[in-house]
Structure 1
């Protein structure tokens, strides 16, 4: 068998089942890679190799008895640090919070454990998950494995860095404005933001979802079987559907696909990004789809209104902390939130109303077309130690104009690798579907992945 760490998740589980591969051997190989790479990549928190090996031995014994726990038995998985794991602190990326142990597993973790997955580490995120960056006041600086001087994006920064660095194929992040898709785009992974409520989460909030970040679409499909199962703690969850996530590529013949190259506001699209996304759209056209150029869904008042609402919410949360704790928050985040002290209640309420304006705009954009293609990130890349592509707390959301509308509109949206920039960083193509058509987005992603071919040059930093 060739390098076992190059196998897809489904291939690994199949090899466990046929006893061609032991969960212990796989975990040992993975631990060796992490230990060789992590000093440079800094993707993980609570990496516990001895515990992981103990769990792998228990999994091996179950396979030998022919009684695996579930479809992920023995499979290593990481989850984003702010997804609670019982008994572990949940610092949410900041040095400001006490390190109190979580009383129970979050829904995503509970479902993974039920199916036998081994959560061998958690992945880093910036303070309160409020940045598209690997910069944090609590964690080490996470870097982009494709170029360690560059940012992996965020807020699922560690998940993206871990996936690109080859720390196994299965990683779970969260996304409220692009936090799965943005870092997936900058690191070459497939990242799925499911329809709002498809994956139960706790705590829940408007637009917030959990989703897979994986090297291939099929890797994501495998984990979606587990994490979509119901959990009563999410009062916003969709009614559970036993969907067949193991989708093949769709036939795009006759599909009407919108191409959105202008986000309506925010940062301009870099030429490298525009060219790669246009080329990807041409591939859909060559395979029988009709590509229809469409205008943006987002407006400046929508983005600025959401910014005001989020600033006010965070400012309120921050005021509940002791003064010394507030001083430990990343200065960029603190400066961003502090301006909310000057907002009037009317300004905050109007900002929150912009969520509903986005819902209407996104729903309207998908009328009479089947899917929408766009860039994920307007910028090619940015420095590892920057808080955002602008590095300016007065302009914090200029880079999320292509992604955040679909959080507020609740549509499924994915990022898939569609080219490389002149800076040597991957470029993400966003694929957006109608609300609840998660399988449609997966099928279209599989089709593009098949046309594009596999990624064979993943970066490795083993020394």
Structure 2
């Protein structure tokens, strides 16, 4: 699976999956199982981590040329980790809650010895000497890291278009975008490359793949998941196919690490009920806000609006108190934030030699250089505007336990487009529903709530009060168990094909 301009991977063909997988453990191929199902199968000795990794690696070999999810994937290393896990399970001594469960991480999350190009052909990649906190926690818990997933240039696009990696495509329909910037993570999650994936988000980069791929995701509270390079609004969080898997991964990666000076105090999150599937509490009396007008950016597509309204009706019929949330984002706030980010990326671009600047994606170069004349006083005014957005978001949502909204105003767009509108410069007109919670630091999750008439997924965003990650995941978990069947994704993962004996 070696590609030009990519870090070389091991050249061996991954082993074919075993034909002896117990039908009681899986009526379908192991790649379709979620993390909690895998743990149960391991505990009962009905399935081994080796069989699971073999099947997933075979699936990757089958689909990766089209999906383009990985920057680095080493089947031999993954299989070796699976064998070590199999041995631990055979002696009844698993290393932790992720032992033997396949995981991917985004390429901007440091793994020892794996170059970090930040999705762009313009930089000389940093080669980290130490795992970042997220990777360290996954390894400590026994997770089998399959590889590092791709992202667009500097993570500043909401698509899978990269000057280094090319185009990452949707497993649902390769002509469509994955969303971004956690594009490879989204493709891996929807395509069956294991059940657990870690993305990063500063304005919607976890949640946009969530809506355009039908996934369950969580942008955690700011500081909930320790990072080695914290920044205003930046978080790492789970991308999965169910709330219980997202909860399982969050429980691991939210463990403390002293390298992040912005991280929240160590706190054991009460996620066990979600993970075990026993937290189906009633939503009767829950105060639910319904936010259908962002106040700025692209107009809301009628099909997206209808799907979110239908999701809110599911809560209301169960006894939740649903009330409208007035728009609180302004065009000025969105423009100021966009300009602030342009200047930040301009600094990165100008730090490169001229010949390397030319390798950066043309769309990004145009977007960045539009801010060339912005002075320091204007940047400080932009920052003050961001603080106003923080205040407005928390004030507007404080009366509610959770707020339901669209994730994005539109459904998935062509994979070749860097942004929903193509090559034009509309700033950040598509993140009016997601970016307020990035700036306020509030948790915000996604789950699928419907499909367009032509079959594209539509995500529901569920946001909550600051630090109430558990409450948000409980609401998502409840909805996933009560949404209409026609809103539940039937994942585009090929059916099981048994190997020859």
TM-score scaled by length of structure 1: 0.97
Question: SS state of the match for residue 150, structure 1?
Answer: coil
- Supply the distance in 2 between the matched residues of 1:144 and 1:354 (Cα, whole angstroms): 35
Question: SS state of the match for residue 274, structure 1?
Answer: helix
- Supply the distance in 1 between the matched residues of 2:85 and 2:236 (Cα, whole angstroms): 26
Unaligned runs of 5+ residues in structure 1 are: none
Q: Is the 8 A contact 1:85 1:109 kept in 2?
A: yes
- Supply the distance in 2 between the matched residues of 1:191 and 1:296 (Cα, whole angstroms): 24
- Supply the distance in 1 between the matched residues of 2:229 and 2:122 (Cα, whole angstroms): 19
Question: SS state of the match for residue 356, structure 1?
Answer: helix
Q: Deviations over 1:76-127 (max 9, x none)?
A: 1000111111101000100111134211111100000011111111111000
Pick the aligned partner of 1:231 from 248, 257, 260. 257
Match of 1:324 in 2: 355
- Please say if 1:141 is aligned against 2:177: no
- Supply the distance in 1 between the matched residues of 2:494 and 2:418 (Cα, whole angstroms): 24
Q: Is the 8 A contact 1:91 1:99 kept in 2?
A: yes
- Supply the distance in 2 between the matched residues of 1:284 and 1:456 (Cα, whole angstroms): 19
Match of 1:21 in 2: 47
Q: Is the 8 A contact 1:146 1:424 kept in 2?
A: no
Match of 1:41 in 2: 67
Match of 1:296 in 2: 327
Q: Deviations over 1:177-232 (max 9, x none)?
A: 00001111110110100100000112110000001000000011111111000011
Question: SS state of the match for residue 335, structure 2?
Answer: helix
- Supply the distance in 2 between the matched residues of 1:318 and 1:51 (Cα, whole angstroms): 35
Match of 1:315 in 2: 346
Question: SS state of the match for residue 145, structure 2?
Answer: strand
Q: Is the 8 A contact 2:121 2:163 kept in 1?
A: yes
- Supply the distance in 2 between the matched residues of 1:370 and 1:362 (Cα, whole angstroms): 14
1:196-215 matches, cutoff 5 A:
196-215=222-241
Q: Is the 8 A contact 1:250 1:446 kept in 2?
A: no
Question: SS state of the match for residue 50, structure 1?
Answer: helix
Give the 4+ runs in structure 1 shifted more than 4 A. Answer: none
User: Could you tell which deviates more after superposition, 155-164 or 386-395?
Assistant: 386-395
Per the TM alignment, residue 394 of structure 1 is displaced from its structure 2 partner at its CA by 2.5
Question: SS state of the match for residue 450, structure 2?
Answer: strand
Per the TM alignment, residue 396 of structure 1 is displaced from its structure 2 partner at its CA by 2.7
- Please say if 1:458 is aligned against 2:484: no
- Please say if 1:285 is aligned against 2:311: no
User: Could you tell which deviates more after superposition, 400-409 or 11-20?
Assistant: 11-20
Q: Is the 8 A contact 1:196 1:237 kept in 2?
A: yes
- Supply the distance in 2 between the matched residues of 1:391 and 1:70 (Cα, whole angstroms): 44
Q: Deviations over 1:9-59 (max 9, x none)?
A: 011022112221111111111111111111221111211111111111111
Match of 1:422 in 2: 453
Per the TM alignment, residue 172 of structure 1 is displaced from its structure 2 partner at its CA by 0.6
Match of 2:134 in 1: 108
Q: Deviations over 1:109-152 (max 9, x none)?
A: 00000111111111110001111100001113111111111101
Match of 2:470 in 1: 439
Q: Is the 8 A contact 1:36 1:461 kept in 2?
A: no
- Supply the distance in 1 between the matched residues of 2:126 and 2:408 (Cα, whole angstroms): 35
Unaligned runs of 5+ residues in structure 2 are: 1-22
Per the TM alignment, residue 369 of structure 1 is displaced from its structure 2 partner at its CA by 2.1
Question: SS state of the match for residue 46, structure 1?
Answer: strand
Q: 1:453 to 1:78 in 2, by over 3 A?
A: farther
- Supply the distance in 1 between the matched residues of 2:351 and 2:267 (Cα, whole angstroms): 39
Pick the aligned partner of 1:350 from 361, 378, 381. 381
Q: Is the 8 A contact 1:212 1:224 kept in 2?
A: yes
Pick the aligned partner of 1:7 from 27, 30, 33. 33
Q: Is the 8 A contact 2:71 2:147 kept in 1?
A: yes
Q: Is the 8 A contact 2:334 2:432 kept in 1?
A: yes
Per the TM alignment, residue 439 of structure 1 is displaced from its structure 2 partner at its CA by 0.6
Q: 1:156 to 1:233 in 2, by over 3 A?
A: same
- Please say if 1:333 is aligned against 2:370: no
1:347-426 matches, cutoff 5 A:
347-392=378-423, 394-426=425-457
Per the TM alignment, residue 354 of structure 1 is displaced from its structure 2 partner at its CA by 1.5
Per the TM alignment, residue 393 of structure 1 is displaced from its structure 2 partner at its CA by 5.3
- Counting matched residue pairs gives 463
